[in-house]
């Protein structure tokens, strides 16, 4: 069953209408502010410190800014508050399992969905009287909330405009104020990057801690057995719920290794050819073509790997008497390698062309051939940059998801045979989190622990790679 | 004498040098051949690498187009239906409520029986009914809803056949395979051949593919729902990431003092650009869904996650665009008395805008093809309805491709390829727009 509406269509439209009204108010405020500033100097705009437009803008910002911020906060908090109010009003037996223990998060969500669906007028799955009551309550609360929000937001907009309006006089430094506000906005925007990183770290750490409270860290990092299916009933067979991630790490390394074995030679050699040998015309055609390879969505590569490459390898293996799994690491790895080729080649191209020409000419002057110059002079000079690029490519291979989800296996084999099916960290994150989720089971939380490992490893690779690349660039600039 | 001796000495030393030179050139010449060979070899490796990459590119396109082009047409059967109130189970009622509860499926079955009066066995009849898609009943419903007066008359409709018959018509089912291992049994093939000889079966443009949402039945499944979902998601992403990205780039490039704090921001942006996309999905799941209680599967949440992913791309591109505006522009504006912000808003930003837009379009193309983080926030739901607002459950094009690629039905393979072609067409258009924009507004200072 698809999830119930979060905000009904009507409410979405209502909120949109409210935003539009606030924006119209801001425009009106702008016109009034500008008019007022001209009026206070009796039409002689040169007496104003700031241009009339800045006075108008000041009023508009005070009118729209606080009101829209309040609106956003209200809308983001409303569902949580409504949920508590509605669930709190339900009789306690509705919130308990038959044995008297409290309901899990997922069951509560289901209950809430029922209430929302009933409130939205959809056919109720259970004609429970309590749910009908709760739905009525939910609806009335929602309406009250919207009415209150509209009143508060609109009065805030008007009050803000009036407050700013009072300041308008000839010496008022409206431009400086407006510039300060805009500057503040820009600083806030540049903080988003930091907030994102903090958000990633905190959310991964927080959920991983909860996981490690159930499964010890050492079991997770060094355990050799991965079978995250938890037993639903005590008598179930083979559902012990083992969380040893070593098979996943090994599988990830295997597939990434195959990918790099394809991507590094092909990418590097094609970059060298493009930078040193290719005539201008060839370069102009081939470079965009390689960029197409980089622009293809990974889901397309996944489809290609699963439906074309893997069966081809399987058939090839059968014809020479090898048993190739239909989800072999080889197929996923090779397709992933093709995906990474343009990444490696464009990064290496940059560093190779950055090697100063004097070095090439010196080598030619000593009688070296082109390939000798490349092998003995250019590559050693460009090596730090190339290594940095390769490290970035490794981090991409490790974090790549769709190709392996579609073409690699699900079962965690502790194997380094590229013809067998192995699974990777990203595949397991997807399988653990897609489908029904209960946020209190170690099965779900394990995905966050895997995510934390993935984040840490790729972060370390990126930091080292960026450091190497940057250090190298400084040498020649 | 002395001079003669000296001359002799000189000639010997000259000879020495000459002989050494000839020895050197001998060694060099001896090695030249193999050195030139290795030169040619190296060059060939480079060309080979490029050819390999391009062959893969061609192979990818050839397989996808080869598998998918047939999905743009759908096998349809021309069915003449003698409609009657009795067969529809509504007697003489013709109002909307009656049309709603009418049994169109029964009417289709009745017309199939009329078509083949010789098919009498229970099993045969069931096989016969199974050859026509459920879409036939929907087509009849739509035709009658448009014109209820048609009831009681003969209506001729083009109705879709079941996906297995579609595959048979497109030559994807091998008739020589043993009956038990075939999706279509011998009886059905017999009926199909009779349809062919009657000339009532044929290929028509597959409108369902472009107008419908997802469906479990391949012949009724379409990408319109996913396309609308993608549209809402991208709108949210664009509305958030463009202003935030540009503002952040302007601040970092034009205002920010060079200190530890801005260094930290810069390192952060560069790192975020390389964080695996699935980690952003985990962030979205934990923060937007769990903490803020946003709806699962909704384009709003998807757009927010993609915004966070896209910001580094847009910020980096915008900063490069700002950097390429020469300082003389800024100095001229400042010299005429403009404030710093006026200089930037009135002079620098307009000149940098094409570069910023190019970066944004490339970022949006990235976002359009992104799948993994959206799986995390539940955009893999099976959504039949076309989403009406960004708050509704929806899926996006790449996720639809993933879902169809997972379906076992043979007919979904060609539809997956068709959906990929549509997605790639969008991406090519966006990238071409970015290239054109760059070409048109490129300035050399």
Instruction: Going from the first residue of chain B to its last (445 residues), give the mean pLDDT of each consecutive group of 10, the final group possibly shorter.
Output: 57 78 83 89 92 92 89 86 78 75 82 83 84 85 81 83 86 80 82 85 85 84 90 93 93 87 86 89 88 81 93 92 90 91 90 89 91 87 81 88 86 89 92 85 72
Asked, for residue B14, whether it belongs to a domain, the answer is no
pLDDT value, residue A453: 93
pLDDT value, residue A6: 45
pLDDT value, residue A107: 66
Does the structure show a pLDDT above 50 at A7? no
Same domain, B122 and B261: no
d(CA B282, nearest CA chain A) in Å: 7
Same domain, B308 and B436: yes
Asked, for residue B331, whether it belongs to a domain, the answer is yes
Do A443 and A241 form a contact (C-beta atoms < 8 A)? yes
Asked, for residue B122, whether it belongs to a domain, the answer is yes
Same domain, B231 and B328: yes
Give the count of Cβ contacts less than 8 A between chain A and B.
Answer: 286
Chain A residues touching B276 at Cβ < 8 A: 395-396, 398-401, 426, 454-455, 458
Average pLDDT over residues A178-189: 89
Asked, for residue B196, whether it belongs to a domain, the answer is yes
C-alpha closest to that of A441 among A221, A224, A202, A241: A241
- Where do we find the tokens 């690629």? B405
d(CA A92, nearest CA chain B) in Å: 23
Same domain, B92 and B190: yes
DSSP structural state of residue B421:
H
Do B376 and A433 form a contact (C-beta atoms < 8 A)? yes
CATH, residue B294: 1.10.3720.10
Coarse DSSP helix, strand, coil percentages of chain A, rounded to the nearest 5 percent: 75, 0, 20
d(CA B350, CA A394): 38
pLDDT value, residue B230: 93
Same domain, B236 and B165: no
Query: Dihedral angle at the C-alpha atoms of A197, A201, A203, A204, nearest 10 degrees?
Result: 130
Instruction: Render pLDDT for A329-350 as a digit per residue (tens, 0 to 9).
Output: 899 999 999 999 999 998 888 8
pLDDT value, residue A2: 37
A6-15, A167-176, B93-102: the lowest-pLDDT one: A6-15
Chain B residues touching A375 at Cβ < 8 A: 42
Number of Cβ within a 10 Å radius of residue B158: 14
pLDDT value, residue A104: 61
Same domain, B174 and B280: no
A6-10, A41-45, A108-112: the lowest-pLDDT one: A6-10
- Concatenating the DSSP letter of every residue in A18-58 gives HHHHHHHHHHHHHHHHHHHHHHHTTT-GGGSSS-HHHHHHH
Asked if the Cβ–Cβ distance from B53 to A455 is below 8 Å, we say no
pLDDT band at A5 (very low <50, low <70, confident <90, very high): very low
Same domain, B81 and B154: yes
- Where do we find the tokens 């609308």? B228
**Site from A2, A173, A309, A440 to mutate, B interface, most B CB atoms within 10 angstroms:** A2
Structure tokens at A188: 């806030």
Do B248 and A189 form a contact (C-beta atoms < 8 A)? yes
Asked, for residue B26, whether it belongs to a domain, the answer is no
Do A334 and A259 form a contact (C-beta atoms < 8 A)? yes
Residue scoring higher pLDDT (A440 or A314): A314
Q: Is A282 exposed, middle or buried (0-12, 13-18, 19+ CB in 10 A)?
A: middle
Query: Dihedral angle at the C-alpha atoms of B177, B179, B182, B186, nearest 10 degrees?
Result: 110
Range of the domain at B258: 224-441
pLDDT value, residue B367: 92
Structure tokens at A145: 């909330």
Structure tokens at B28: 């060099």
Same domain, B295 and B173: no
- CA-based nearest residue in chain A for residue B340: A179
User: Which one of A269, A304, A367 has the shortest CB-CB distance to B49?
Assistant: A269
Chain A residues touching B282 at Cβ < 8 A: 200, 203-204, 429, 433, 447-448, 451
User: Which one of B57, B283, B398 has the shortest CB-CB distance to A299?
Assistant: B398
User: Which one of B36, B52, B371 has the shortest CB-CB distance to A297?
Assistant: B371
Average pLDDT over residues A240-269: 89
d(CA A308, CA A311): 6
Asked, for residue B373, whether it belongs to a domain, the answer is yes
Chain A residues touching B293 at Cβ < 8 A: 79-80, 83
Query: Which of the following CATH numbers is that of domain A240-476: 1.10.760.10, 1.10.3720.10, 3.30.70.260, 2.40.50.140?
Result: 1.10.3720.10
d(CA A230, nearest CA chain B) in Å: 20
pLDDT value, residue B209: 85
Same domain, B230 and B198: no
- Cβ of residue B423 closer than 8 Å to a chain A Cβ: yes
For chain B, the domain total comes to 2
| CA-only gyration radius of chain B, Å | 35
Average pLDDT over residues A79-83: 76
**Site from A1, A5, A6 to mutate, B interface, most B CB atoms within 10 angstroms:** A6
- Cβ of residue B274 closer than 8 Å to a chain A Cβ: yes
In chain A, list all ranges with CATH 1.10.3720.10: 240-476
Q: Could you give the percent of chain A with pLDDT greater than 70?
A: 86
pLDDT value, residue B334: 92
Asked if the interface predicted TM-score (ipTM) of this complex is over 0.85, the answer is yes
Chain B residues touching A341 at Cβ < 8 A: 53
pLDDT value, residue A154: 87
Average pLDDT over residues A417-446: 80
Asked, for residue B230, whether it belongs to a domain, the answer is yes
Instruction: Render pLDDT for B273-299 as a digit per residue (tens, 0 to 9).
Output: 888 999 999 999 888 887 777 778 888
Asked, for residue B25, whether it belongs to a domain, the answer is no
* Boundary residue ending a domain (B205, B240, B265): B205
Asked if the Cβ–Cβ distance from B56 to A76 is below 8 Å, we say no
pLDDT band at A253 (very low <50, low <70, confident <90, very high): very high
Asked if the Cβ–Cβ distance from B293 to A3 is below 8 Å, we say no
Surface of B (27-56) touching A: CB under 8 A:
28, 35-36, 38-39, 41-43, 45-50, 52-54, 56
User: Which one of A9, A186, A270 has the shortest CB-CB distance to B50?
Assistant: A270
Same domain, B256 and B398: yes
- Cβ of residue B60 closer than 8 Å to a chain A Cβ: yes
Longest dimension (CA), chain A: 96
Instruction: Render pLDDT for A97-129 as a digit per residue (tens, 0 to 9).
Output: 666 666 666 666 667 777 776 766 655 555 567
Beta bridge partners of B80: B156
pLDDT band at A1 (very low <50, low <70, confident <90, very high): very low
Does the structure show a pLDDT above 50 at A307? yes
Same domain, B232 and B196: no
Instruction: Render pLDDT for A397-425 as a digit per residue (tens, 0 to 9).
Output: 999 999 998 888 777 778 778 888 888 99
- Where do we find the tokens 């622990």? A449
pLDDT value, residue B316: 92
């Amino acid at each position: 069953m698809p999830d119930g509406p979060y905000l009904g269509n009507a409410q979405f439209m209502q909120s949109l209408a409210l935003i539009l009204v606030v924006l119209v108010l801001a425009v009106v405020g702008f016109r009034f502010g500008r008019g007022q500033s001209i009026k206070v100097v009796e039409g002689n705009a040169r007496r104003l410190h700031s241009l009339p437009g800045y006075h108008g803008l000041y009023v508009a910002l005070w009118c729209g800014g606080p009101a829209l911020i309040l609106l956003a906060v209200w809308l983001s908090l409303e569902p949580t508050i409504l949920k508590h109010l509605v669930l709190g009003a339900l009789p306690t037996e509705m919130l308990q399992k038959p044995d008297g223990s409290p309901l899990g998060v997922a069951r509560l969500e289901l209950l809430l969905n029922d209430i929302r669906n009933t409130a939205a007028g959809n056919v109720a799955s259970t004609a429970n009287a309590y749910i009908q009551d709760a739905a009525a309550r939910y609806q009335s609360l929602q309406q009250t909330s919207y009415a209150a929000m509209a009143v508060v937001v609109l009065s805030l907009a008007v009050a803000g405009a009036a407050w700013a309006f009072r300041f308008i006089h000839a010496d008022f430094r409206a431009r400086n104020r407006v510039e300060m506000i805009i500057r503040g906005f820009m600083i806030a925007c540049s903080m988003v990057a930091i907030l994102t990183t903090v958000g990633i770290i905190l959310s991964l750490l927080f959920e991983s801690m909860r996981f490690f409270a159930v499964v010890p860290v050492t079991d997770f990092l060094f355990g050799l057995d991965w079978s995250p299916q938890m037993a639903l009933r005590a008598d179930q067979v083979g559902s012990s719920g083992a969380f040893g991630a070593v098979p996943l790490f090994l599988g990830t390394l295997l597939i990434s290794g195959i990918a790099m074995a394809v991507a590094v030679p092909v990418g590097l050699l094609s970059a060298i050819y493009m930078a040193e040998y290719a005539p201008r015309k060839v370069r102009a055609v081939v470079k965009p073509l390689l960029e197409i390879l980089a622009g293809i969505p990974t889901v397309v590569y996944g489809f290609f790997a699963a439906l074309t490459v893997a069966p081809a390898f399987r058939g090839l293996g059968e014809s020479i008497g090898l048993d190739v799994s239909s989800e072999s690491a080889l197929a996923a790895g090779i397709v992933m390698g093709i995906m990474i080729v343009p990444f490696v080649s464009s990064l290496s191209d940059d560093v190779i062309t950055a090697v100063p020409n004097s070095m090439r000419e010196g080598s030619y002057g000593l009688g070296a051939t082109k390939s000798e110059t490349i092998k003995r002079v250019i590559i050693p000079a460009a090596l730090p940059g190339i290594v940095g690029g390769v490290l970035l490519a490794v981090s991409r291979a490790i974090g790549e998801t769709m190709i392996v989800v579609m073409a690699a296996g699900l079962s965690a084999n502790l194997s380094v045979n590229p013809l067998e099916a192995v699974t990777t960290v990203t595949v397991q994150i997807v399988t653990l989190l897609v489908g029904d989720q209960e946020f209190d089971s170690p099965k779900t939380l394990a995905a966050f622990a895997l995510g934390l490992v993935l984040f840490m490893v790729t972060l370390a690779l990126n930091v080292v790679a960026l450091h190497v690349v940057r250090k190298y660039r400084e040498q020649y600039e | 004498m002395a001079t003669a001796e000296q001359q002799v000495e000189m000639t010997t030393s000259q000879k020495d040098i000459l002989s050494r030179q000839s020895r050197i050139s001998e060694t060099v010449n001896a090695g030249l051949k193999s050195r030139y060979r290795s030169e040619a070899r190296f060059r060939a490796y480079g060309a080979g690498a490029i050819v390999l990459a391009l062959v893969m590119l061609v192979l990818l396109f050839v397989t996808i187009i080869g598998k998918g082009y047939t999905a743009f047409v759908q096998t349809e059967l021309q069915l003449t239906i003698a409609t009657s109130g009795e067969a529809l189970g509504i007697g003489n009622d013709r109002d909307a409520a009656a049309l709603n509860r009418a049994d169109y499926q029964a009417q289709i079955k009745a017309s199939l029986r009329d078509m083949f009066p010789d098919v009498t066995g229970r099993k045969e009849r069931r096989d016969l009914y199974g050859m026509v898609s459920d879409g036939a009943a929907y087509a009849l419903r739509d035709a009658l809803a448009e014109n209820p007066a048609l009831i009681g008359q003969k209506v001729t409709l083009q109705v879709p056949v079941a996906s297995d018959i579609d595959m048979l018509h497109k030559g994807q089912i091998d008739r020589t395979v043993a009956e038990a291992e075939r999706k279509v049994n011998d009886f059905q093939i017999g009926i199909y051949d009779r349809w062919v000889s009657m000339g009532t079966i044929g290929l028509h443009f597959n409108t369902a593919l472009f107008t419908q949402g997802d469906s479990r039945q391949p012949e009724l499944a379409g990408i319109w729902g996913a396309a609308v979902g993608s549209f809402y998601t991208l709108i949210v992403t664009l509305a958030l990431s463009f202003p935030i990205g540009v503002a952040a780039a302007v601040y970092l490039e034009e205002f920010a003092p060079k200190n530890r704090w801005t260094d930290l921001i810069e390192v952060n942006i560069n790192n975020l650009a390389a964080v695996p996309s699935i980690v952003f999905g985990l962030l979205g799941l934990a923060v937007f869904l769990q903490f803020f209680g946003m709806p699962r599967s909704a384009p709003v949440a998807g757009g927010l996650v993609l915004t966070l992913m896209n910001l580094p791309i847009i910020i980096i591109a915008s900063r490069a665009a700002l950097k390429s505006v020469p300082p003389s522009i800024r100095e001229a504006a400042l010299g005429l008395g403009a404030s710093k912000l006026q200089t930037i808003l009135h002079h620098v930003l307009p000149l940098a805008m094409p570069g910023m837009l190019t970066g944004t379009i490339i970022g949006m193309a990235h976002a359009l093809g992104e799948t993994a983080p959206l799986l995390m926030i539940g955009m893999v739901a099976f959504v039949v309805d076309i989403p009406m607002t960004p708050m509704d459950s929806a899926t996006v094009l790449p996720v639809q491709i993933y879902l169809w690629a997972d379906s076992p039905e043979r007919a979904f393979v060609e539809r997956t390829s068709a959906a990929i072609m549509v997605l790639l067409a969008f991406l090519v258009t966006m990238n071409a727009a970015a290239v054109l924009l760059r070409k048109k507004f490129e300035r050399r200072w």
